[in-house]
Structure 1
Amino acid sequence: MATQIDQVVQVLQATLSADEHTRHQAEQYLTQHAYAKSHVVVLMQVATAPQADASMRQSATINLKNLIAKGWDPRREDAARLHEEDKATVRANVLEALIQSPEIVRSQLNECVKVIANADFPERWPNLLETLVGYLATDDVPRVYGAVTVISVLCRKYEYKDKDERLALTPVINAAFPRLLQMLQSLLAMEDKREDAQLALLVKAIVKTYWSATYLDIPDALMRGDVYGAWIQCMHAIIVMPVPERGQPADPAERKHFPWWKAKKWALHVANRMFQRYGNPKQCKPEHKPFAEAFKRDCSCAFLESYVRLLSVLPAGGFLPDRIINLALQYLTTALTGSNTYKMMRPLLDDIVFQIAFPQLCHNAADQELWDTDPNEVVRKGYDIIEEMYSPRTAAVNFIVELCRCRSKENLPKVMGFMMQIFARCAEATRANGPAATPHPELGAALHAIGSLQDKLKSTTGYKEQIEPMLMAHVAPCFASPFPHVRAKACWCAGVYAEIEFQNPANFLALFGGVVAALKDDQLPVKVDATTALGSFVEAAEDIEQLKPILPQLLDEFFKLMNEVESEDLVFTLETIVEKFGEDIAPYALGLAQNLAAAFWKLTNSQDDKDDDDMNGALACVGCLRAIATILESISTLPHLYGQIEPTLMPILRKMLTQEGYDVYEEILEICSYITYYSPTVTPAMWELWPIMFDALESWGIQYFENVLVPLDNYISRGTEHFLAAPRYRDDVLRLCGTVILANEFPEPECIPAPKLMECVLQNCRGRVDDVVPGYLAVALERLPRCKGKYLKDLLIQVVANCLYYDAPLTLRTLEKNGKTNDALSAWFAMLSARTPNGKRKHHKREHDKKVCALGLTALLRAPAEAMPPAVAQGLGSITSVLVALLDDLKTQMTERKEMEENGYRGHGFWGGGDTDDEGEYVDEDLGDGGDDDPEDEKEPLDEEALRALAMKARKFGQFDPRGGDDDDDDDETRVEDDPVVAAERAWNEAQKTPEIPSPMSMHYALDLIEGPPEEAAARASIAKQIFAAASRTPWRSIRNLRVNGVAIDDDDVPALSGGDEGAGWDFVESAAGGTSPAFLELDFFGPDVFERLKIEPHQMRFTKGDEE
């Protein structure tokens, strides 16, 4: 072992060498021997060796921490892991190492303990709790501190666990917390030792441990009245306790790290959460109401008093760390809604608002120093959510806003009066002594407050009418302020009110002009705030004609700013401009795309250079891609521009379609969708992305299959010839779909895009991909019996329907060859017949589903006799009945959708609308059917309509051809063929020549004979005339409830209805329509097999007024 230790020491020394080659060799050695027997133990020995050099110990500890993090309990089964014997040795010694080591090593060892405890406690580290409790009983301060630190780790392990999982923490609470409470009480009583930093650190550690143990709920052992009261008294004592002056750093930026301030901060955390959770008994769980009543009565006002006392040092210039001000103002904000706390605070409100809260909004010396030295940091902090969360300025403005919201009657006038006084005082100072004499910190704060109160002022009578005059009198002049922070706040404040209804349009333009001028300000933060405000003004502008002349100037300023700062708000504003100007952006589309692409690469590279996650940079990356997608949408009517933009975007697409683009994959796919859909052709460069997409789906990105389906659909539908030219494309589809559908590792929602992709191939390549039909059928039918969800089952059986529509004889031969005909058709017909108790379909609920099934059934009926298996031929009557019922439901669904659209509803789909639930409530078909009372029904995932809407914005382009073709007039004939009603009509025309195929047997007809394109109207008229055919085919007795043009025909007017076999003549229908061509026909029609199934002779059925069947 000694030799191994010496060797590791030498290697660690080499990692600190100035020679790069030496360092590289040392790092390679550590990597190669990381999981060697005893290596981790040796690292810990070096890290904890007192005689070792400090840098050596630190290097060893860092390596130890990284190794334990990766190899102690790796998630992957095949990952390298540490030996169990070494892990046992580390567990046995890590606590002592933690206690004995200096802080530089202890902080790293603490991370090791977190990993080990999270993985091993309590099962594989059963003696840990007993050891820690033993440490707590000693007088050894480092040992006690180490024990508290590890107990805190155990509590943090269960912070976010549910109630049942947190039961594992009960032994820790029972064994350790009574002792922790005693220690905390004793430490707080040692007034003479308050200057001892170690004592303060121990207090902070205990309070943090209590915070973690009570994070989601208070354990029963800590909720008992005496125990809870004791802990709360300690928290209150810490809050009111004076912080010793001795030992505090002179620099305010460093002073916040003083241990007693940290202890006070965590006590505030605890009190705030208790108040939020139990301050209002009415909002508590029933079992907690008695406890909450006691907290409200005994604690809420006591803490409020201590918070106000804590904040009272601020008007006199006293020091409080920003986070403590933030937490204290948060408590006061919550207290505004409580009757007892507001009553107590009410007399103090003027001082709290105007002496404590409002000054936090004022521009101070620290703000100005940052503005002068690092304007980029000013921008970052100004738009950083985390910074806002911890900022005292945010907490102060939230307090003022909440005060004016929930206690507005007596406070809103006072607050607004105070702001108006500031505006008047600043204006007077400017008039008297010039702009430089303006009390600018207060002016900026007033603008901040006025802007933050926007929601209240916009909705309150007496104030909303005064917003426009206020903006012109007090905000507009601030655009010319000599103080940059005031100009920035003026831009922001004007922006939040841009959407109000201006009585004088010139005022809107004046404010807008001030914002536009600020884009050329010499101060970066002003330009960024102006940019954000600009988006609001552009969004609110009703007439963009006045803005068009300045569009080049706006874009030029944007391009300059994008090179200076990383801001998602900047990109979002650009996106707003592109959306607003639409096609007018076309002349600048290429330049915009190039600048956004450059900004994206810059942001991506800066992300790679940063050690930690930069949320703002990541959002800005996403914003760039979204703005590019918006540009591509805006030029959709100018397809020639896509060829100019595509080369700029291609490097981004190639790189980000790999795993490197995981965080922006959806945005990248949206860009691909636009290019493949709107470009005149799918270019060879775009086809190079096809294998990259498939590689992603087959290796790491199957969760994006639904998103990838959109561009894949476009490749196949708009690049059909290229798709068919290379067999590998068809092979890719079959391989991927087979893997996804047949493998058990994928949940059903991730399988759903596969049958959709197969449908895309079959519908776009009819007659040209015979070789894929057997594979598609085999995959779909093999998975079908194992389906649990109805939606996937529907899609798989629709593969059979699509194959029939593609080529019915080929499909029937394939099914017969594999012995699957009966299985496939029986399952399909059972699904088509399945209804809920209230008559709704259980399967194929969307319009598109019904159309696919209808086209498949029609193709089956039209199959040549020689291609039809005997079992199918014998059931043609049933097939016809199923088809008729399906078309009837389809007609009803389409009618309901059109009515909803006429009433202002717009669905998402290209292929049709939704359905109605049992009470007639409309249910968007994209979300499945929510009205069935079948307990097995489940919500269905988003379907093709939603996918296409993502890429092509269906709302702008109306109904979409399911084959993805264009709208050329010469394609009309093909589209008519795809209409299920027309296809069925042709099938029935052919059925007249085939006696084995009966006419439709039982249905309710509602035929609009003039609606829609002439071809469809003619087809429906043809069906109607077939019903009223020769007496040998349609006797009057098969017709009931006849209505012509909405008028019911009484049975008395149709003597033939009393019985007999007279033929139902079309001439009677025309006469019932007043001698004109009928426009709308409605009837119930029964064929001979209805009577046969009901065991009723035809002459026994009489259709007279009021009779039932």
Structure 2
Amino acid sequence: MASVNDIQTLAQLLQSSLNPSTAKQAEQSLRASEGQPGFSILLLQIVASDQFHQTSRLASALFFKNFIRRKWTDEDGNYRIPESDVASVKNEIVGLMISLPHSLQVQLGEAISIMADSDFPDKWDYLIDDLISRLSPTDVYVNNGVLQVAHSIFKRWRPLFRSDPLFLEIGLVLSKFCVPFMSLFEQTDRMIDENQSNKAALEPLFGTLILIFKLYYDLNCQDIPEFFEDNMKPLMGLVHKYLQYSNPLLATDDDDEPGPQELVKSSICELIELYTQRYGEVFQPLLPGFIETTWTLLTTTGPEPKYDVLISKALSFLTTVTKSPERAQAFSSREILQQIVEKIVLPNMTLRTSDEELFEDDPIEYTRRDLERSDSDTRRRAATDFLSELKERYEGLVTEVVMIYVQHYLGQYNSNRAQNWREKDTAVYLFSSIAVKGTITAAGVSATNMLLDVVQFFSENIAPDLFTADTHPILKVDAIRFIHTFRNQLTKAQLAETFSVLSSMFQSTDYVVYTYAAITIERILFIRQPSQLNTFLFGKDDISPVAEQVIMNLFRLIEKGQTPEKVAENEFLMRCIMRVLLTAKESVVPYSDAIVQRLANLVKVTSMNPSNPKFSHYMFESIGAVIKSAPASNAGSYDGVLIPVFLNILGQDVAEFVPYVFQLLSQMLDVLPSGVSLPETYVQLVRPILSPSLWESKGNVQALTRLLQSILSRDSSIFVSAGLIEALLGVFQKLLSSRVNDHFGFELLESIFLYVPIGDLAKYTRQIATLILQRLQSSRTEKLVLRVAHLVYFLAAVAGPTKQLGPEFAIGLFDQAQPGIAGEVFGQFVVPATVRLHTPLDKKIAAVGLVRILFESNKFRTSYSAKWVSGAVQLVSTLQSDSLVGAFETSAAAAAEDMLEADEEIGFGATVSKLSSVVWRPVDPVPEVVAGDKVKKFVGGEINRFGGNVQGLVAQAPEEVRSAFATYGRDA
């Protein structure tokens, strides 16, 4: 853009960013201008002005939110935009947000939340006073804006761990906000009573109520405030009033979307569940009334989808009630349990017409709601959880009562299978609800109800549906889900038999059927041996006969999509491909060229519009799995297919994919045989990947560091010949200055020292040491101290004339910056940190480096002899550490397979999703010294070779040190 002062040009760029054909160029122009003073204020002016189109205003609000996320502060809390802009944004944003329509409020609310997370209360102490001052006795819309801002700030507390700073912040808010909050609650209640027959007035007032209940939860989420405990009866009286409240004027004709009354009651159910769960002792006197009202609500609310969230929240509240043995007594009789099953469980567990429509019309949404506990707001899941909790309390009685209904529904099904298939669906759900013992995790069910025979039920009622061609698709899905749920209870032989059946379902035309089959196969392949948790039940020999057919069928299903969004829609299919590849390992090599070609094509298509982070992640994991499994003879054979695709992604700057590309490029380089020279592609990449702009993205840092390390290890001369040493060290300096990324800086520096000839670094070493010492002095952290210790030991461990490193270099490095300082660094930081180096590899490097410093370094034993004994004591302690014994390198296969249990963490964002199939091996400067007892033999050899030089120093050491050294020398 020409200038950030040109608001029209900025608005045009924002509008252009919404058009796929101009989005990339517009985004680049916007990013180029965002560092200029006043840019953030212009964005807010566009959001505020009704002279611009609504889409431009929304685009501006979105860009502002993302701009604040990227640019508000750095990891140390320093502002990254001009201070004048910071002050202006804080002064303007609250008043602006209050005046905006909801769609724009949401975006600015998230921005305020990000700002508050950094600045409130220390650097934004007037925020709460500002909000309270804007509350109005008459203007509901202004109040709703104020409450929306407050919720944006306070909801940050919900997932946080308790801490003193958190409670200080909450206490500050409570001291100012509680009284106005209660007054507004009572005022809103009066206005609702006064406007019982005025729909136009009631609707915004119920918008106020929704926000009040959200804030009620926010303010109580960590602990019950004294104010709320003291005013429990009046406040909870109002809460109870609106759980019972009903006004025909607020009823909606839309059967799908919840209306204001449903939204209010859903929020209330969340609130009373919190109180029951966390503050049961003080809430107990009021609890029976809420239970009775909730029961009534559950038994009188219709089956329409608009009530789904309300019903699920109400059931979740009752489930929490039953977790207390005392409260659960109310549900302990057979008669009550029968009423619960008939009036609450069955109506909410039975398949509805809307469920069948979802199955047909939006199968991927049906799958996500229903499987792997992703359906927390559905009736079925909530009813299942409620029944399961009751079963945990009264297993025998609940099992007996429920099995009567299970047999009844199975009987109805068997009397007319074509017509009564829904009854069997209900029976299978009921049985599964009481058969599971404990919770279902990503690893499946660990225990089952001993009063039921899950395997027999499977054989008699589930297996036939898998093999019968005319089974209704939903019953077939039920059968697959049953295997998915109870896979740990089936034998390997039974699972192997079902595996072939599940594989055949990739020929099905039913989206949900083949998706469930893919999910279940993937989970079966993840089952571990009961007695060997590091070993999987199914290995490459089990999967290799069918792997090609399974993989190609899955590709075919994915490739049916006609757009990038549809191709990437079904992450479950891609996850199954990934798991089959990881399990099959090198057995896929005969057809791996075809796999890589299909994956490359998918990358090309989805890069046009990356829309599903999980699909993308599994896609790149699959590429990594194929590369990793290729034998040495195949190394580099995929480069011709993959590298042009990867370079195109880098050229197009597809931000969501770039970190994955860097990881895979590094892996592709690492698998090349050691004698192969650096490919020309990587030579051409060296200069671009040193560009500072690439390192601005947090998601790129780790992958770029790894790639630079891989290039350095292959051929460091490219940096020397191209005059890029200073640029390389500039990256180190940038990383060192960041508390978040400084450890990557040290990893890079260690590779630079290891692979670049010391003669080419000599003129920079004093500056390197100075930078490290300045960081130690100005911004010391535990992580930084550990990395400095690791660096010293790393440099000292490397021996041999070709390396030109070793103990003299390690000690002399810091003395270049300030003569005599190396002793202080060693005594104050390095030795004390040694015990806190965690991994066996780190301990091995420390042991090797430390013994070389103690026994080989002339400078150390002369200039810093006062530090010798403390170093010797630490060396013996390190050698006796349990974690030094055994192999120090985790099996690459095990590391790659033990992966991907936390799917919710995968997403496009500021931090990279690390690929588990890319083995991230730390650099070992002394691979010839194997960990464990051989380290002790190495130490003994050093003692025997150089011990004569330090006899006097050894004599000053404690007896246990002298004895240990004698033992190591004797055993060497």
Q: TM-score range by the shorter chain?
A: 0.7 to 0.9
Equivalent residue, structure 2, for 1:639 = 632
Matched, 1:627 2:627: no
The structure whose Rg is larger is 1
The alpha carbon displacement at 1:305 in A equals: 0.8
Equivalent residue, structure 2, for 1:484 = 473
The answer (yes or no) to whether the contact 1:976–1:982 under 8 Å persists in 2 is: no
SS at match of 1:236: helix
- Cα gap change, 1:537/1:201 in structure 2, threshold over 3 Å: closer, same or farther? same
Q: Distance in 2 between matches of 1:948 and 1:91?
A: 41
Equivalent residue, structure 2, for 1:223 = 228
Q: Distance in 2 between matches of 1:37 and 1:574?
A: 44
SS at match of 1:402: helix
- Cα gap change, 1:856/1:821 in structure 2, threshold over 3 Å: closer, same or farther? farther
- Cα gap change, 1:327/1:824 in structure 2, threshold over 3 Å: closer, same or farther? same
The answer (yes or no) to whether the contact 2:309–2:378 under 8 Å persists in 1 is: yes
The answer (yes or no) to whether the contact 1:478–1:486 under 8 Å persists in 2 is: yes
Partner of residue 456 from structure 1, selected from 437, 440, 444: 437
Q: Distance in 2 between matches of 1:393 and 1:960?
A: 51
The answer (yes or no) to whether the contact 1:203–1:263 under 8 Å persists in 2 is: yes
**Pairing 1:86-101 to 2, within 5 Å after superposition:** none
Equivalent residue, structure 2, for 1:578 = 581
Partner of residue 358 from structure 1, selected from 346, 362, 365: 346
Equivalent residue, structure 1, for 2:327 = 341
Partner of residue 332 from structure 1, selected from 302, 318, 325: 318
The answer (yes or no) to whether the contact 1:801–1:853 under 8 Å persists in 2 is: yes
Equivalent residue, structure 1, for 2:241 = 237
SS at match of 1:695: coil
The answer (yes or no) to whether the contact 1:666–1:707 under 8 Å persists in 2 is: yes
State the AA in 1 paired with 2:555.
F
The alpha carbon displacement at 1:470 in A equals: 1.7
The alpha carbon displacement at 1:634 in A equals: 2.4
Equivalent residue, structure 1, for 2:309 = 323
Q: Distance in 2 between matches of 1:825 and 1:296?
A: 65
Partner of residue 202 from structure 1, selected from 202, 205, 215: 205
Structure 1, gaps ≥5 residues long: 1-6, 48-54, 99-104, 282-291, 431-435, 608-613, 862-870, 912-946, 968-974, 1008-1037, 1045-1078, 1084-1109
TM normalised by structure 2 equals 0.74
SS at match of 1:252: coil
The answer (yes or no) to whether the contact 1:160–1:216 under 8 Å persists in 2 is: no
Q: Distance in 1 between matches of 2:344 and 2:826?
A: 75
**Pairing 1:169-208 to 2, within 5 Å after superposition:** 169-170=173-174, 173=177, 176-187=180-191, 189=193, 193-194=196-197, 196-208=199-211
The alpha carbon displacement at 1:349 in A equals: 2.6
SS at match of 2:142: helix
**Pairing 1:410-559 to 2, within 5 Å after superposition:** 410-430=397-417, 436-437=418-419, 439-451=420-432, 455-456=436-437, 463=450, 466-479=453-466, 480=468, 481-502=470-491, 507-540=494-527, 541-542=537-538, 545=541, 547-559=543-555
The answer (yes or no) to whether the contact 1:491–1:529 under 8 Å persists in 2 is: yes
Q: Distance in 1 between matches of 2:370 and 2:130?
A: 49
Q: Deviation per CA, 1:885-929, whole angstroms, max 9, x where unpaired?
A: 777566545xx457x54xxxx654699xxxxxxxxxxxxxxxxxx
Q: Distance in 2 between matches of 1:188 and 1:673?
A: 64
Matched, 1:797 2:760: no
The answer (yes or no) to whether the contact 1:880–1:998 under 8 Å persists in 2 is: no
Aligned-pair RMSD on alpha carbons? 5.6
Q: Distance in 1 between matches of 2:496 and 2:110?
A: 59
Equivalent residue, structure 2, for 1:932 = none
SS at match of 1:323: helix
Structure 2, gaps ≥5 residues long: 1-6, 73-78, 117-122, 158-165, 439-444, 528-536, 561-566, 893-913
Q: Distance in 1 between matches of 2:290 and 2:46?
A: 49
**Pairing 1:575-974 to 2, within 5 Å after superposition:** 575-607=578-610, 617-635=612-630, 638-651=631-644, 653-654=646-647, 667-680=660-673, 681=676, 682-695=678-691, 699-701=695-697, 705=701, 708-717=704-713, 719-720=714-715, 723=718, 726=721, 728=723, 730-741=725-736, 745-747=737-739, 750-764=741-755, 768-776=757-765, 778-780=767-769, 783-784=772-773, 787=776, 788=780, 789=782, 790-798=785-793, 801=796, 806-807=803-804, 823=820, 826-827=823-824, 830=827, 846-855=843-852, 860=857, 892-893=880-881, 896-897=882-883, 901=886, 907-908=888-889, 951-952=918-919, 962=925
Equivalent residue, structure 2, for 1:269 = 270
Q: Deviation per CA, 1:86-141, whole angstroms, max 9, x where unpaired?
A: 9989988997x77xxxxxx6865797799799889873896764553xx41x5xxx
SS at match of 2:405: helix
The alpha carbon displacement at 1:325 in A equals: 1.0
Q: Deviation per CA, 1:48-105, whole angstroms, max 9, x where unpaired?
A: xxxxxxx97857976996798799998355469879999989988997x77xxxxxx6
Q: Distance in 1 between matches of 2:793 and 2:354?
A: 67
State the AA in 1 paired with 2:428.
L
The answer (yes or no) to whether the contact 1:521–1:527 under 8 Å persists in 2 is: yes
**Pairing 1:987-998 to 2, within 5 Å after superposition:** none
**Pairing 1:558-577 to 2, within 5 Å after superposition:** 558-564=554-560, 566-577=569-580
- Cα gap change, 1:883/1:600 in structure 2, threshold over 3 Å: closer, same or farther? same
Q: Distance in 2 between matches of 1:813 and 1:326?
A: 63
The answer (yes or no) to whether the contact 1:113–1:150 under 8 Å persists in 2 is: no
The alpha carbon displacement at 1:851 in A equals: 1.0
SS at match of 1:626: helix
State the AA in 1 paired with 2:618.
G
The answer (yes or no) to whether the contact 2:266–2:310 under 8 Å persists in 1 is: yes
**Pairing 1:1-80 to 2, within 5 Å after superposition:** 47=50, 75=72, 78=81
The alpha carbon displacement at 1:860 in A equals: 3.7
Higher relative contact order (CA 8 A, sep 6+): 2
- Cα gap change, 1:983/1:872 in structure 2, threshold over 3 Å: closer, same or farther? closer
Q: Deviation per CA, 1:301-342, whole angstroms, max 9, x where unpaired?
A: 21111111111125x868861111111111111111234532
TM normalised by structure 1 equals 0.66
The alpha carbon displacement at 1:527 in A equals: 0.5
SS at match of 1:807: coil
The answer (yes or no) to whether the contact 1:362–1:445 under 8 Å persists in 2 is: yes
The alpha carbon displacement at 1:625 in A equals: 1.4
SS at match of 2:637: helix
Q: Distance in 2 between matches of 1:1039 and 1:274?
A: 63
Q: Distance in 2 between matches of 1:194 and 1:879?
A: 86
- Cα gap change, 1:491/1:1006 in structure 2, threshold over 3 Å: closer, same or farther? farther
State the AA in 2 paired with 1:648.
V
The alpha carbon displacement at 1:590 in A equals: 2.5
- Cα gap change, 1:799/1:66 in structure 2, threshold over 3 Å: closer, same or farther? closer
**Pairing 1:370-409 to 2, within 5 Å after superposition:** 370-379=358-367, 381-382=369-370, 388-409=375-396
State the AA in 2 paired with 1:223.
F
Q: Deviation per CA, 1:497-547, whole angstroms, max 9, x where unpaired?
A: 233352xx6543432232122121111110010111112333455476454
- Cα gap change, 1:325/1:850 in structure 2, threshold over 3 Å: closer, same or farther? same
Matched, 1:158 2:158: no
Identity of aligned residues (%): 14
- Cα gap change, 1:673/1:409 in structure 2, threshold over 3 Å: closer, same or farther? farther
The alpha carbon displacement at 1:621 in A equals: 0.9
The answer (yes or no) to whether the contact 2:625–2:917 under 8 Å persists in 1 is: no
The alpha carbon displacement at 1:570 in A equals: 2.2
The alpha carbon displacement at 1:981 in A equals: 4.9
- Cα gap change, 1:449/1:1006 in structure 2, threshold over 3 Å: closer, same or farther? farther
